[in-house]
Amino acid sequence: MKISIVGDEAAFDQAASSRIISQIIEKRESVIGLSTGRTTGNMHRLVVEQYRRMQFDVSRVTIFGLDEVMNVPRTYAGACYTMLKTEIIDGLELDDSHFLMLPTESEDWNTTCKHFEEEIDRRGGIDLLMLGLGENGHLGFNQPGTPFESVTWTSQMNEELEMRIRKETQLPSCIELGGVTLGIKNIMHARRIVLVAKGVNKAEIVRKMLEGPVCTEVPASILQLHPNCEFLLDEKAAQFVKHLNPNKNED
């Protein structure tokens, strides 16, 4: 396992954005999957800042979203589509044919999910997947208990996240929320993964992900088995990882 620890939040955002930029520079037609949320917004904005400075070629890149909130309009501030568009897609001047997203609404989710996977495959598969980490260990919307063989599907939200999205987006309680997401199997097929986690609220789940058993109760623990996964953490998120802190947590 490759574990990289950076000191503070600014250094973390910088390091995370550099993973995306170097991928684009190394392979112009890269297919890159991104996650949304509190962890990843700054790093996306830094990619745009660097693009404006360096003008690296993004004309052949495909960026896609790992997951999407179901049953909200795409234009909702909390929809992953809108978040990614505002944070990175518009800034990189990517047109829609280079930006793949699962829809927020569908009449036939099975077909929609299948088409999404086929489109990623048609472009050569995933070169880099930047993964956020849920406080309960989820990846995308693959909640604890999700089978490791899952492929793109419609899942549940955890209660806490649902409350947050409802609050952030003022979504009325009569609209049911869910999450459509790449499955664990799709995630594991990415050629390269960078798991990003920062802040003290992720410290306990980071420890379980890295040091606990590989089990469906902690979906992110499967990443221990990925041959090319980097765990990029800030010091706060890494604080309970014992083998990095041999003098701490000796219980």
**CA atoms of 203 and 8, how far apart (whole Å):** 14
Q: Shortest Cβ distance from residue 134 to ligand GLP (Å)?
A: 5
Torsion (CA) 231, 189, 132, 177 in degrees, nearest 10: -160
Based on CB atoms, which residue is closest to ligand GLP, 44 or 98? 44
- Please give the structure tokens belonging to residue 228: 């090319």
The answer to whether 39 and 198 are in contact (CB under 8 A) is yes
Pick from 35, 62, 104, 239 the residue near ligand GLP by CB under 6 A: 35
Write out the binding residues for ligand GLP, residues 92-151 only, by CB under 6 A. 132, 134, 138, 140-141
Rule CB under 6 A: say whether 66 interacts with ligand GLP.
yes
Q: Which of residues 164-193 bind ligand GLP (CB under 6 A)?
A: none
User: Is position 155 an interface residue for ligand GLP (rule: CB under 6 A)?
Assistant: no
Q: Quote the least distance from Cβ 2 to ligand GLP, whole Å.
A: 19
Pick 61 or 205: Cβ nearer ligand GLP = 205
Task: State in angstroms the smallest separation of the CB of 202 from ligand GLP.
Answer: 7
- Asked whether the beta carbons of 3 and 238 are under 8 A apart, the reply is yes
Residue nearest to ligand GLP as judged by C-beta position: 132
Q: Which of 30, 36, 143, 152 binds ligand GLP (CB under 6 A)?
A: 36
Nearer to ligand GLP, 38 or 60 (CB): 38
Compare residues 178 and 246 and give the one whose CB is closer to ligand GLP.
178
Question: Considering beta carbons, is residue 20 or 122 the nearer one to ligand GLP?
Answer: 20
Report if residue 38 touches ligand GLP, rule: CB under 6 A. yes
Return the structure tokens found at 89: 């897609």
Rounded Cα distance, 187 and 197, in Å: 17
Residues contacting ligand GLP: total by CB under 6 A = 13
Residue 128: CB atoms within 10 Å: 22
User: Which one, 56 or 148, has the nearer CB to ligand GLP?
Assistant: 148
Which residues sit at the interface with ligand GLP, rule CB under 6 A? 35-39, 66-67, 132, 134, 138, 140-141, 161
